[in-house]
Chains A and B, each alone.
Chain A
Amino acid sequence: MAVVERLGQVGKLLIGVWIASIAVAMFLVIPQYEGLGNAGRIVIMHVPTAWVSVLAFAVSALFSGLYLWKRRPEYDHYALAAAESGFLFTALATVTGMIFSQVVWGIYWNWDPRQTSIFVLLLIYAALFALRSAIDDPERRRQLSAVYSLFAFVTVPFLVFVAPRIADSTLHPNCAFIQGSTCDGITLEVGTIGLLGDRKVQLLALERQGDVVTAEVKVSEPGLTSETILRPSYDLAAGEMVARPEFPGLRYRLGLEAVDLRANTALLNIEAPGTGLLENRRTLFTFLASIGGFTALFFWLLTLRATLLDVQWTLAQRGGSRV
Chain B
Amino acid sequence: MDRATDTGQEAPALETPFRAGTPAPVLFAAAWAVFVKDLRIELRTRYALNAMVLFAACTAVMVSIGTTFIGLRRTEEALLIQSSLLWVAFLFAAITGLSRGFVQEEEARTMAALRLAAPPVAVYLGKFLLNLALLALLGAITSLLFIVLVRVQVGSPLAFVALIGAGSLCLAAATTILAAIIARASFKSALFAVLAFPLLVPPLIIAIQGTALTLENGGFGPALGALQFLVAYSVATFVASLMLFRFVWEA
Contact = CB atoms under 8 A, between A and B. Distances in A.
B229 interface: yes
B5 A155 contact: no
A146 B240 contact: no
B185 A150 contact: no
A143 B248 CA distance: 7
Given A68-B247, A158-B233, A131 B8 contact: no
B228 to A, nearest CB: 10
Contacts of B11: 70-71
B248 A155 contact: no
Interface string A89-112: 000000000000000000000000
A210 B191 CA distance: 60
Contacts of A126: 194
A169 to B, nearest CB: 12
A75 to B, nearest CB: 9
Interface stretch (B94-102, B132-140, B199-207): B199-207
A162 interface: yes
A-side interface mostly: helix
A134 B236 contact: no
B194 A127 contact: yes
A123 B197 contact: yes
Contact of B174 (A123, A155, A162): A155
Given A134-B186, A148-B181, A150-B240, A317 B6 contact: yes
B95 to A, nearest CB: 13
Contacts of A251: none
Contacts of B9: 72
A123 B205 CA distance: 16
B205 A151 contact: no
Contacts of A127: 194-195, 197-198
A135 B186 contact: yes
A161 B231 CA distance: 13
Contact of A165 (B186, B198, B205, B237): B205
A139 B186 contact: no
A144 to B, nearest CB: 5
A91 B201 CA distance: 19
A25 to B, nearest CB: 36
Interface string A70-95: 11110000000000000000000000
A151 B244 contact: yes
Interface string A54-73: 00000000000000101111
Contacts of A205: none
A136 B184 CA distance: 10
B241 A151 contact: yes
A154 interface: yes
A68 B240 CA distance: 14
B209 interface: yes
Interface in B1-46: 1, 3, 5-9, 11
Contacts of A146: 247
B177 interface: yes
A143 B251 contact: yes
B69 interface: no
A130 interface: yes
Contacts of A148: 178, 181, 195
12 contacts: A68-B247, A120-B198, A123-B197, A126-B194, A143-B250, A143-B251, A147-B181, A148-B195, A151-B199, A155-B202, A162-B206, A165-B205
Interface of A: 68, 70-73, 116, 120, 123-124, 126-127, 130-131, 134-140, 143-144, 146-148, 150-152, 154-155, 158-159, 161-162, 165-166, 317
Given A134-B185, A147-B247, A165-B205, 11 more contacts: A72-B8, A73-B8, A124-B198, A127-B195, A138-B1, A147-B248, A151-B240, A154-B237, A158-B202, A158-B233, A159-B202
Interface of B: 1, 3, 5-9, 11, 174, 177-178, 181-182, 184-187, 191, 194-195, 197-199, 201-203, 205-206, 209, 229, 232-233, 236-237, 240-241, 244, 247-248, 250-251
